[in-house]
Amino acid sequence: MKSCSSVLLLLTCLWACEATSPQSIVRHDSTGNQKSIAVDAAGALALDASEEGGFVETDSLHDSGDSVGAHFHGVSVDATRTNKSGYSTQTSFCYEKDSASFGNCWANVPPSDTPACTPSSGSTVCRCPDATCDIDNLASSGTTGRCAEKKIYVAVGQVQVHGLNSDVDVTGTTESVFCENMVKNDQWALQGCIETPFDDAESYSKKWWQICKSGYTGRWDGKCYRKVRFIQPKESCWDSVWGGKCKNHESSYDEYSTSCFKGQCAPYAFARNREECSCSWVGYPFIVVCSASGGSCGGHACVLNTGDGKHYCDYATEQNWHSILSIFR
């Protein structure tokens, strides 16, 4: 049974977590007051942010976790990734056609020769490789970089408010993404998240009548797999009572939290796009949060999104929201 703090975390996430689906540069949002609540790893309330006169993106350019405040180009905090430990991400948007209305932000577009981002970019403005701006150097140096303060400039971008419900449409052609605060994470090995020569093999074959040795679990292919899974090399992970969990999966909103994302262990910061899921009939049956059917969330919770009424995987939760059917995997 889940602890009270874990249940509080997931119930609270109903209000904070946003679903993500890949979109072109078009958003449809609604104005109005929005309240976002975040919780830390212990389940305690960490932030109660009211966005007066702004809107929360339910279908963002790439990152629907990001929210836009009263000024469309102003930096806004992603409440679902903020806690007392200081883990946070911030994103601001500048729309070319509306630039004059918001401090002429388009005049601040970094030059074309802005250096590419690296994990060591720090506070030096750098050009992101993509909209998520996560740098993966795990294979070469055991290091990653995540952008804590990101600015997105949308060419020919414009915000339009229309309709009786004050719906907001944001359109544009192309976007340029820059980072102003790159966080370097170089302690993955010390956290035990990277395989070493002293670790047991990732898997091994066995005869059908044999059982897996200690520290391993069997799967449908007849092989035995190490129960604890690593982010480097990018090992597979899955929803199972008996194993398949990523090292550090139990941490939430921490620099070295990990998630089982699309069947592979990854830093939590890289698990951006929350996959749609449905509740299993034979798991934890809470209304707003449940076990995912078919193990689609890799053991993470399947959480209701109040915006569209659908459920999405919450990769910040532990990998212990198992469907009973996972016992047989």
Per residue in 107-132, pLDDT (tens digit) is 999 999 999 999 999 999 999 999 99
CA 191, chain centre distance (Å): 20
pLDDT of the residue at 218: 93
pLDDT of the residue at 282: 84
Q: How far is the C-alpha of 230 from the C-alpha of 244, rounded, in Å?
A: 10
Give yes or no for a cis peptide into 233 (omega within 30° of 0).
Answer: yes
pLDDT of the residue at 165: 60
Label the pairing between strands 90-95 and 76-77. Answer: antiparallel
pLDDT of the residue at 302: 96
The answer to whether the beta carbons of residues 36 and 18 sit under 8 Å apart is no
Domains contained in the chain, number: 2
Q: What is the mean pLDDT for each group of 10 consecutive residues in the chain (329 residues)?
A: 40 33 32 27 28 25 31 35 66 90 90 97 97 96 97 86 64 90 98 97 95 94 96 96 95 94 97 92 85 94 92 95 69
The pTM (predicted TM-score) of the whole model is 0.74
pLDDT of the residue at 164: 60
Owning domain of residue 66: 4-185
- Give a yes or no: residue 236 inside a domain: yes
State whether 177 and 116 are in the same domain: yes
Q: How far is the C-alpha of 47 from the C-alpha of 29, rounded, in Å?
A: 23
- Give a yes or no: residue 195 inside a domain: no
pLDDT of the residue at 269: 94
State whether 137 and 215 are in the same domain: no
Q: How far is the C-alpha of 11 from the C-alpha of 187, rounded, in Å?
A: 31
State whether 178 and 228 are in the same domain: no
Secondary structure letter of residue 16 according to DSSP: H
Which residues face 126 on adjacent strands?
179
Label the pairing between strands 143-154 and 90-95. Answer: parallel
Domain-ending residue, one of 185, 212, 238: 185
Instruction: Express each pLDDT in 129-164 by its tens digit.
Output: 999 999 999 999 999 999 999 999 999 877 776 656
pLDDT of the residue at 319: 96
Query: Nearest to residue 322, comparing CAs of 245, 269, 226, 256?
Result: 245
Q: How far is the C-alpha of 161 from the C-alpha of 268, rounded, in Å?
A: 35
State whether 88 and 220 are in the same domain: no
Q: How far is the C-alpha of 313 from the C-alpha of 287, rounded, in Å?
A: 14
Q: How far is the C-alpha of 271 from the C-alpha of 5, rounded, in Å?
A: 23
